Copies of this chain bind each other. A is one copy, B any other.
Amino acid sequence: MRIKGEYESELLTKIFVGWGFSNKKASLITEVLSYADLRGIYSHGIQRLKMYEKKIKAGYINQEATIQIVRQTPNCIVVDAHHAMGQLASIEVMERIIRMAKKNGIAFATVRNSNHFGAAGYYAEMASRSKLIGFAATSTNPLLVPPGGKAPFLGSNPFAVSFPMKKNDFVFDGATSAVSLGKIEVLEKLKKQIPGEWAVAEDGKLEKKPKNVLDNLTKENRAGGVLPIGGLEESNSNYKGFAISLIVEIMTSIFAQGSIAADLGNKKHDISHFFMVIDPTLFISLKQFKNHLSDMLGRIKKSETVDGKPVTLPGEKEQIALQQNSKYGIDLDVETLKEVRKICAALEIDF
């Protein structure tokens, strides 16, 4: 079923208000979830409500929390989010470091004691909408199995980068594991098999059933999990995918002195983020930057391909989905609709 973006936003805001957030806070959280759904990143939109509900009810998310700046220099803030909703902490932190980068050229933040922040691209894009370069990364629950391993150790550890462009900003947003957990959840809801080398069972063999992966990752003694970019084989450079995830883990959990992914989920629930903003006019005029980047991307689009179809650039699928979904509404699967209806019923919200 397709539901209009505006309608989904109203609904989301009502739900978060129902869960005890102020109107202002509920609107901000809604913006991040709606950003994902409108761009076809369904794994990070309204389908995450069930997870947020669980965390709010368990007390891992504190609706009243305000973030605390623990340390500050002209280029860096160290933030304790005091278990605020990840979206609220992250928007406030990005607003601060955007101001700092406008003044000093570059600024970054480490954030501890936060929660799941939704789509990383939202925060990176806050910077590029301000004519700056944005970077956002987060730790997550354990998900990624190191090459040869039996259990997840690293998170999906997504990062996003956004560069200001003439028209649509260039945004890359992706898990540094082969896929995010959300993508496997979506397949399970659609009752589809896993394509490609995404996940393994405890014995290190490929796992094709989304349900088995999800069960293995949610039980207390987690087993198996998602593979790095590069999949199963060393000869396909999976050690590079693993290294990239590990670097994001260091930039988030270690920089922020938070729990590492391996400890999250069962007993610990403190997610860490890393954000960075760079003013490109430190080294190039904004016009030159945009022109040079647009020219290069244009040439990739025009380059010859085997099947004649143009190369897909990072963020393009999301731009196409944004146009479609803004026009025709957001396409929600049956399972997600059921979950949202249940949540609405409990809060006595019409849906």
Measured in the bound complex, the distance between the Cα atoms of B101 and A75 in whole Å is: 11
Contact of A86 with B by CB under 8 A: no
**A230 smallest CB distance to B (angstroms):** 5
Of chain B, the residue at the smallest CB distance from A244 is B244
Over the window 185-205 of chain A, the binary record of Cβ atoms lying under 8 Å from chain B Cβ atoms (1 yes, 0 no) is: 000000000011110000110
Question: Is there contact, CB below 8 Å, between B237 and A196?
Answer: yes
Contact of A219 with B by CB under 8 A: no
Question: Is there contact, CB below 8 Å, between A311 and B75?
Answer: no
Measured in the bound complex, the distance between the Cα atoms of B107 and A75 in whole Å is: 10
Please give the number of chain A residues whose Cβ is less than 8 angstroms from any Cβ of chain B in the complex.
Answer: 79
Question: Is there contact, CB below 8 Å, between B282 and A76?
Answer: yes
Of chain B, the residue at the smallest CB distance from A232 is B236
Number of this chain's copies in the complex: 2
Give chain A interface residues in 115-165, CB to chain B under 8 Å. Answer: 146-151, 153, 161, 163
> Which residues on B sit within 8 Å (CB–CB) of A244?
244
> 26 A-B residue contacts at CB 8 Å?
A71-B282, A71-B283, A73-B105, A75-B104, A75-B106, A76-B106, A78-B284, A106-B108, A110-B283, A110-B284, A146-B300, A146-B303, A146-B311, A174-B243, A178-B236, A178-B237, A179-B237, A196-B236, A196-B237, A198-B235, A229-B237, A230-B230, A231-B231, A253-B296, A254-B289, A255-B284
Residues of A within 8 A of B (CB): 71, 73-76, 78, 104-106, 108, 110, 146-151, 153, 161, 163, 170, 172, 174, 176, 178-179, 195-198, 203-204, 229-231, 233-237, 239-244, 246-247, 249-250, 253-257, 260, 262, 278, 280, 282-284, 288-289, 292-293, 296, 299-300, 303-307, 309, 311-314
